[in-house]
């Protein structure tokens, strides 16, 4: 089984560990730079990206993470984790940095305060079967993607507004605005494990 780390600085680490084990991966929490060495893949969980960024910086993880991503480590980022994978952020905190790697710009807390959290059906390219029930919690949306990134899913805009990108893939990097780890639906984690194994 592939060894998949869950970045355990902050956020919903345990839920991802549970999902990864449910789909047959060996999941480990990671906090130290040297723990990145033995990973076949990494999940960056949901939580609060400003806190995650500050902790990653003070644990000297930002550069090692960037190196591993640049070297081709498969990474899945959910919500705050999506923000951490984005090359650009809108509405970030002052000076907020990311790991980057995914050629996209995300907007933090994009869905607004009135709808802090909601569920919506989303069809994801490469995920067969019924649409997923996607859980959004103070979620970002993807404002734009560059040529190397591929949009995997969108949700319909509220009140007739434009559809919003909520899932993106670029080679071995995967990101969703929503939290599959908070549902019983393992299909996104299955997709990620396939990416880790080079089967998707």
Q: Which residues are catalytic?
A: 79, 179, 181
The answer to the question of whether 49 is labelled as a binding residue is yes
- Shortest approach of ligand GLN to residue 177 CB, angstroms? 9
* Minimum CB distance to ligand GLN smaller for 138 or for 150: 138
- The secondary structure of 96-158 as a DSSP string is ------EEEEEETTTT-STTSEEEEEE--TT--SSPEEEEEES--EEEEE-TT-EEEEEEPPG
14: annotated binding-site residue?
no
Q: d(Cα 184, Cα 69) in Å, to the nearest integer?
A: 28
Q: Are 10 and 177 in contact (CB under 8 A)?
A: no
CA–CA gap between residue 193 and residue 6 (Å, rounded): 13
CB 147 to ligand GLN: min, Å: 26
Q: Is 31 annotated as contributing to ligand binding? A: no
Binding site for ligand GLN (CB under 6 A): 46-49, 79-80, 83, 108-109, 137-138
Question: Shortest gap between Cβ of 82 and ligand GLN (angstroms)?
Answer: 8
Q: Residue 39 or residue 80: which is nearer to ligand GLN going by CB?
A: 80
| Residue 31 vs 54, nearer CB to ligand GLN | 54
Using H for helix, E for strand and C for coil, what is the string for 134-148?
Answer: EEEECCCEEEEECCC
Instruction: Give me the residues paired with residue 77 across strands.
Output: 44, 175
User: At closest approach, how far in Å is the CB of 34 from ligand GLN?
Assistant: 26
Nearer to ligand GLN, 109 or 133 (CB): 109
In the 8-state DSSP scheme, what is residue 184?
S
Q: Is 130 annotated as a binding residue?
A: no
Known binding-site residue numbers for L-glutamine:
47-49, 108, 137-138
Q: Which residues are annotated as part of the binding site?
A: 47-49, 108, 137-138
């Amino acid at each position: 089984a592939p060894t998949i780390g869950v970045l355990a600085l902050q956020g919903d680490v345990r839920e991802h560990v549970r999902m990864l084990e449910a789909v047959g991966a060996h999941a480990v929490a990671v906090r130290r730079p040297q723990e990145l060495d033995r990973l076949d893949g990494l999940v960056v969980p949901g939580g609060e990206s400003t806190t995650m960024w500050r902790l990653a910086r003070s644990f000297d993880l930002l550069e090692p993470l960037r190196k591993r991503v640049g070297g081709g480590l498969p990474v899945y980022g959910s919500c705050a984790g999506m923000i951490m994978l984005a090359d650009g952020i809108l509405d970030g905190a002052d000076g907020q940095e990311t790991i980057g790697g995914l050629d996209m710009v995300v907007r933090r807390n994009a869905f607004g305060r009135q709808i802090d959290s909601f569920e919506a059906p989303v069809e994801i390219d490469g995920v067969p079967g019924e649409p997923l029930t996607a859980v959004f919690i103070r979620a970002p949306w993807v404002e734009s993607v560059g040529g190397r990134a591929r949009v995997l899913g969108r949700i319909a805009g509220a009140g007739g507004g434009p559809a919003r990108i909520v899932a993106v893939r670029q080679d071995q990097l995967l990101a969703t605005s929503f939290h599959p780890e908070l549902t019983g639906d393992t299909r996104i984690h299955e997709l990620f494990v396939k990416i880790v194994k080079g089967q998707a």
